[in-house]
Amino acid sequence: MAEMDTSSSGGHKKGPGVKKGKKLSTRIDLTPMVDLGFLLITFFMYTTTLQKPKTMEINMPYKDDNIKEEEQSKVKESTAMTILLSKNHRIYYYEGIGSDPTKPPELQVTYFKPKGGIRDAIIEKEKKVDELKRSGALTAKDQATILIKPDSTSTYEDLVNILDEMSINDVRIYAIVDITDVDRDFIKATEQANGGQ
């Protein structure tokens, strides 16, 4: 514990000297101070967080019940790609907007992998659109457009991940749209063709 050295050889005290004629030196044991310090550190470690939450800005397409369905047809088939989010983080995608009932689109399956996943598919689509612009089939104002249709079995994480892929790949035009029964049928057909998974 703290000790008082009353021998006259001491003399490290800062305060006014004792008038008794004996110089007292105090040596304080700092162990409890260190305990207190670590206690406070542990308190702050548990109750605070280093991570500042970030936000992602979302702009949903303007919806007004008075506007008729003219908006739908404004997306050009050749610029568009539809992404369907399904269960277990599975993604189906196809070219175009799937509006032609005589030519059902071919669904491809992928996942959120850094290589060979949806990112590569999106980059491919952007390259195709660039080629079409160079060959003159599309004007300079046309850009790759992606329609995101989450199924009822997908999770919020899938949605955020796909929106993140939009900003990672610099896709400027995209929209979150309700999934249609037609798309659900496509998914069912693909699942059955692949052994009902």
Partner 1 sequence: MPRKSTNVDMTAMCDVAFLLLTFFMLATKFKPDEPVTVVTPNSISEIPLPDADIMMITVDPKGRIFFSIDNQLKRKDLINDVDEYKKLGLTEQEKNSFAIGSSIGVPFSQLKSFLAASPDQQKEMNRSAAGVPVDTTNTSDANELAAWIRMARNTNPKLRITIKADNNATYPEVNKVIKTLEGWKIFKFNLITGLKAVPPGTAAYQVSQGKQPQ
Residues lying near partner 1 in the complex (CB under 8 A) are found at 29-31, 33-34, 37-38, 40-41, 44-45, 47-63, 85, 114, 119, 123, 150-161, 163-164, 167-170
Q: 3-state DSSP call for residue 129?
A: helix
Q: Is the dihedral of CA 73, 74, 77, 80 positive or negative?
A: negative
- Cβ(109)–Cβ(90) under 8 Å? yes
How many whole angstroms separate alpha carbon 129 and alpha carbon 106? 19
Q: Give φ, ψ of 35 to 5 degrees.
A: -60, -45
- Nearer residue to partner 1 within complex by CB, 71 or 77: 71
CA-closest candidate to residue 3, choices 29, 31, 30 = 29
- Nearer residue to partner 1 within complex by CB, 18 or 39: 39
CB of 75 to partner 1, least distance (A): 18
Place of tokens 């790949």: 169
- Nearer residue to partner 1 within complex by CB, 73 or 152: 152
- Nearer residue to partner 1 within complex by CB, 123 or 132: 123
Dihedral class, residue 195 (left if φ above 0, else alpha if ψ from -120 to 50, else beta): left
CB of 69 to partner 1, least distance (A): 17
Q: Is the dihedral of CA 172, 143, 77, 169 positive or negative?
A: negative
Place of tokens 């088939």: 77
Q: Write the DSSP symbol of residue 117.
A: S
CB of 27 to partner 1, least distance (A): 8
- Nearer residue to partner 1 within complex by CB, 131 or 164: 164
CB of 122 to partner 1, least distance (A): 10
CB of 158 to partner 1, least distance (A): 7
- Nearer residue to partner 1 within complex by CB, 17 or 116: 116
CB of 173 to partner 1, least distance (A): 14
